[in-house]
Homo-oligomer: A and B are copies of this chain.
Amino acid sequence: MKHSKDFNVQNERNLTMLVDFYELTMGNGYLHNNVQDKIAYFDMFFRRVPDGGGYCIMAGVQQLIEYLSNLKFSDDDISYLKSKNIFSDDFMDYLKDFKFSCDVWAVPEGYPVFPGEPLVIVKGPVMQAQFVETMILLTINHQTLIATKASRICRAAKGRPVMEFGSRRAQGYDGAIYGARAAVIGGCVGTACTIAEEMFGIPALGTMAHSWVQLFDNEYDSFKAWSETYPDNCVLLIDTYNVLLSGVPNAIKVFNEVLKPMGKRPKAVRIDSGDITYLTKKVRIMLDEAGYEDVKITISNSLDEYIIRGVLESGAQIDSFGVGERLITARSEPVFGGVYKLVAVENDGEIIPKIKISENEEKITNPAFKKLYRIFDKTSHKAIADLITLHNEEIDETKPLEIFNSIYTWKKKKIKNFYIKDLMVKIFENGQPIYESPSVMDIKAFSAKEVSKLWSEVLRFENPHAYYVDLSSDLWNLKQGLLNYYSETFEQ
């Protein structure tokens, strides 16, 4: 099962024109200069992990595939572009007949990924490979950002279920929908976003708002009405007026007077405001004393990984969390800075590596058409390092492998007893999709497994160990050669 049903919001829209305008001015320029069919290689990668974390969670590949499978300019698009009066008729004809023909590789969703690694590689006519930049970045940046944040928040909850509750504070409709998808990939057990269940088969749930309680003449009546409506699944929101003086007493009264005679057990109470640690300790005692030791306490109130860690450390009695705005916007660091850079072009079939120099050293790119390997320890199955190589390098798993830091090259490590995994899969061949995405729930399970292969030092919230992402000797030498070439050029 890919989706819970054959239903896809994105496919109902044509997002071909969701493109930075410069992709179009460049496209027109390629054609004007007759270089539109030159084969180019682009890498999508990022430079740092948000929140100072140790890893990110790759997400968004499924939506990237949908976008690339549906590239098409409508007649309306063409006539709008013509009205700009800067594009040639040849370019308009090219767009009218646009047919995606690139090869694309991507790291599958759910993998932990690290700075500097290619996450997506596009090879094809520069006109096309350039055009898809905006949507590749937008799609992967967004979902990877949210999956990464969800992974942090769920780890802070230490096994307690975390629900994604943030639709109302998301940055736009897709922010809510695909944000819910990414949150589940990162570890959430479900979402409040109903359409996300319909689209992706991820569990949606929810109970009542304060307005339910307010609508009735008093809190007791509102709880009574709710428990009569949902005797099998009764969760009450107990903080509309006063948690300890009103909410809990009324809840217990309703549990006793309505549910008990029916032979039903209530499920949970929810608190959405106030001092969580203090209130949950008190509520736990009150529920236990009334014979409701099995009734859960669920919390939602501007939570994130730091607050969750804090209240759990201070002894709060919490069974599950609903996390809203700080997850769905990745509030503490709401930008995932993935970039898309030209790394090579073909001249008469020969691959010529390209580099982007910058006065900001961290903005310098890794040139060439490349491969990404993950190296695992054969005994512990823990991930030791990632290695970026030229596309045609093979690694001999039977011999010790020496890796070294790209900046401090004397920092070396000889690895024995290992096996490797080629992390990228081909998702498009000659413009045709050739990869079937797993279901979101399968990606979620896969991701949990892959994260468990990281050493706990990499998982720390503060000052995590920087996972090794090294270049092969051949790639390192190639890069140094290009840097020296440009450095000498400017010295003249």
Where the two chains meet, the residues of A that have a C-beta atom closer than 8 Å to any C-beta of B are 4-5, 7, 9-10, 12-15, 17-26, 28-29, 32-33, 35, 38, 40, 42, 76-77, 80, 86, 126, 130, 133-134, 137-138, 141-142, 145-146, 165, 167-179, 192-195, 197-198, 204-212, 214-215, 225-226, 228-230, 233, 239-243, 245-246, 273-275, 325-326, 329-331, 334-338, 340-342, 345, 354-360, 363, 486, 489-490
Min distance, Cβ A173 to any Cβ of chain B, angstroms: 5
Min distance, Cβ A36 to any Cβ of chain B, angstroms: 11
**Chain B residues near A230 (CB, 8 Å)?**
25, 29, 86
Report the Cα distance A224→B246, complex, angstroms: 76
Is the beta-carbon distance between B342 and A18 smaller than 8 angstroms? no
**Chain B residues near A194 (CB, 8 Å)?**
17-21, 24
**Chain B residues near A334 (CB, 8 Å)?**
171, 329-331, 334
Report the Cα distance A42→B228, complex, angstroms: 25
Report the Cα distance A424→B14, complex, angstroms: 35
Is the beta-carbon distance between B195 and A15 smaller than 8 angstroms? yes
Is the beta-carbon distance between B359 and A22 smaller than 8 angstroms? no
Q: A76-B5, A207-B25 are in contact. Are A360 and B18 (CB under 8 A)?
A: no
Is the beta-carbon distance between A215 and B20 smaller than 8 angstroms? no
Q: A29-B212, A29-B229, A331-B335 are in contact. Are A171 and B179 (CB under 8 A)?
A: yes
Is the beta-carbon distance between A130 and B171 smaller than 8 angstroms? no
**Chain B residues near A35 (CB, 8 Å)?**
215
Q: A18-B176, A210-B341 are in contact. Are A38 and B215 (CB under 8 A)?
A: yes
User: Can you sample 15 A-B contacts with CB below 8 Å?
Assistant: A12-B14, A15-B173, A19-B194, A21-B192, A25-B230, A29-B212, A138-B168, A169-B335, A171-B172, A172-B178, A174-B175, A210-B341, A210-B342, A210-B356, A211-B342
How many copies, total? 2
Is the beta-carbon distance between A273 and B174 smaller than 8 angstroms? no
Q: A13-B9, A20-B206, A331-B335 are in contact. Are A241 and B490 (CB under 8 A)?
A: yes
Is the beta-carbon distance between B341 and A142 smaller than 8 angstroms? no
Is the beta-carbon distance between A229 and B138 smaller than 8 angstroms? no
Min distance, Cβ A122 to any Cβ of chain B, angstroms: 11
Is the beta-carbon distance between A214 and B354 smaller than 8 angstroms? yes
Is the beta-carbon distance between B76 and A18 smaller than 8 angstroms? no
Report the Cα distance A170→B140, complex, angstroms: 11
Q: A29-B230, A208-B29 are in contact. Are A336 and B192 (CB under 8 A)?
A: no
Is the beta-carbon distance between B134 and A240 smaller than 8 angstroms? no
Is the beta-carbon distance between B337 and A325 smaller than 8 angstroms? yes
Q: Chain B: which residue is nearest A332 at the CB level?
A: B334
**Chain B residues near A246 (CB, 8 Å)?**
489-490
**Chain B residues near A330 (CB, 8 Å)?**
334
**Chain B residues near A12 (CB, 8 Å)?**
12-14
Is the beta-carbon distance between B195 and A171 smaller than 8 angstroms? no
**Chain B residues near A5 (CB, 8 Å)?**
76, 80
Report the Cα distance A345→B9, complex, angstroms: 36
Smallest CB-CB A-B distances: 8 pairs:
A172-B174, A22-B206, A21-B206, A137-B168, A211-B342, A171-B171, A334-B334, A17-B195
Q: A175-B172, A176-B18 are in contact. Are A77 and B226 (CB under 8 A)?
A: no
Contact of A241 among B177, B179, B342, B357 (CB under 8 A): B357
Is the beta-carbon distance between B76 and A342 smaller than 8 angstroms? no
Report the Cα distance A200→B337, complex, angstroms: 27
Contact of A359 among B177, B205, B273 (CB under 8 A): B273
**Chain B residues near A357 (CB, 8 Å)?**
240-242
Is the beta-carbon distance between B22 and A192 smaller than 8 angstroms? yes
**Chain B residues near A338 (CB, 8 Å)?**
168
Contact of A329 among B4, B171, B355 (CB under 8 A): B171
